[in-house]
Amino acid sequence: MIDFLMDIMRFDSTSGLENDLARHIASKHKPEGSECFIQETDEKRLNVFFKFGQPKIIFCSHLDTVPPYIPPSRDSNIIYGRGSCDAKGQLAYLLEAARQLNSEGHSNFGVLMVSGEEDGSQGAIRANREMKGLDYVIIGEPTGNKLVTASKGNLLVKINFYGKSCHSGYPEKGDSAFKRMIEFFDRLRELKFPRDRVLDKTTFNIGKLESPNAQNVISDFVTCKIFFRTTFVTDKSIKNKLNSIADDKTELEFVYGDEPMKFYTIEGFNTTVVSFGTDAPSFTNVKNKILYGPGDIIDAHTSGECVRISDLYKAVEDVKLIYKKVINEN
């Protein structure tokens, strides 16, 4: 398991660059007793699927990582580097659990490694087409070795602000798109989002901010993206609220979004709720979705991303137990 993890962490599989890693895993790491299938998304990105028998349950996590690439390193009980917990560490423990279950004589499960989780779940959407007759999917994400009861949803919004350019010495002759953006965000800050009893606050983050004007020219165009983390009480209302505070020179594009989710849980495990999104909403053909994995989400997407080796081994045993419980083999 650890050799596999260190091997796949050598690949820069930042979202959009997963294909070399997918091909490498398919050719070098096919587990004994499995069939290997490559799935291609509409965007030509690849998934890897190892099938044992006729699956009733799928173990799934993602090949892609957020930038920048950070090569792997190991210090005693801890593995550092991009993907160590989000989510190549998840792939490693799920594949090891599958190997052990197969060696113990179990079957009817699969290991699915998908592309694009970090930028739109393209791989999960593609894999969902093949998910017929499945009872469960276990999704590996860093949850602190706890089963998740609920997760926030998300909504990505692209916003274009338009104005009129002019010499910056005479701003009254133009219409600053940047000023319009600031006023929009002032109105956004004044919006009151109710707290959710389960998922708490609705939050948002701003990124991809760009204004191509020179510093001595009033901006006639500014664009940015807002990423909302939504709750059960706010998910359906955010689009209307944003439309209500946009003026006639503000253009909103709702790029994609996933609803908040409730997950299937099993007695005997510690539980938690999380604020991050997963591929789970894309698996519409699977009724029961389970979210679990080693590592701390606070470490994910940071320069100090890491996972404890002991937590990886605990995850293997936990997922084997989950498998046996849900298919009544315990």
Could you tell me the CA-to-CA distances from 184 to 46, 141, 238, 247 in Å, in that order? 39, 35, 15, 8
User: Would you state the structure tokens that stand for residue 82, as one six-digit string?
Assistant: 């991009």
* pLDDT for res 223: 98
The pLDDT tens digits of the residues spanning 293-318 come to: 999 999 999 999 999 999 999 999 99
* pLDDT for res 330: 42
How many folded domains does the chain comprise?
A: 2
Q: Are residues 50 and 146 in the same domain?
A: yes
Q: Are residues 140 and 276 in the same domain?
A: yes
pLDDT per residue rounded down to tens, the chain (330 residues) = 999 999 999 999 999 999 999 999 999 999 999 999 999 999 999 999 999 999 999 999 999 999 999 999 999 999 999 999 999 999 999 999 999 999 999 999 999 999 999 998 999 999 999 998 899 999 999 999 999 999 999 999 999 999 999 999 999 999 999 999 999 999 999 999 999 999 999 999 999 999 999 999 999 999 999 999 999 999 999 999 999 999 999 999 999 899 999 999 999 999 999 999 999 999 999 999 999 999 999 999 999 999 999 999 999 999 999 999 998 754
Q: Are residues 291 and 211 in the same domain?
A: no
- The residue out of 258, 273, 304 marking a domain boundary is 258
The pLDDT tens digits of the residues spanning 39-95 come to: 999 999 999 999 999 999 999 999 999 999 999 999 999 999 999 999 999 999 999
Q: Are residues 190 and 282 in the same domain?
A: no
Q: Are residues 239 and 137 in the same domain?
A: no
Give the residue from 11, 78, 79 showing the smallest Cα distance to 48: 11
- The residue out of 204, 233, 258 marking a domain boundary is 258
61: containing domain: 2-151+260-326
Could you tell me the CA-to-CA distances from 85 to 8, 148, 256, 295, 301 in Å, in that order? 13, 16, 25, 5, 9
- In sequence order, which ranges of 153-268 are alpha helices (DSSP H)? 177-190, 238-245
Query: Residue 40: which CATH number?
Result: 3.40.630.10
User: Would you state the structure tokens that stand for residue 326, as one six-digit string?
Assistant: 């849900």
* pLDDT for res 120: 87
Q: Are residues 278 and 158 in the same domain?
A: no
Give the residue from 197, 325, 313, 312 showing the smallest Cα distance to 265: 325
Q: Are residues 45 and 176 in the same domain?
A: no
Residue 102's SS3 state is helix
Contacts of 320 (CB under 8 A, 6+ apart): 97, 100, 101
* pLDDT for res 57: 96
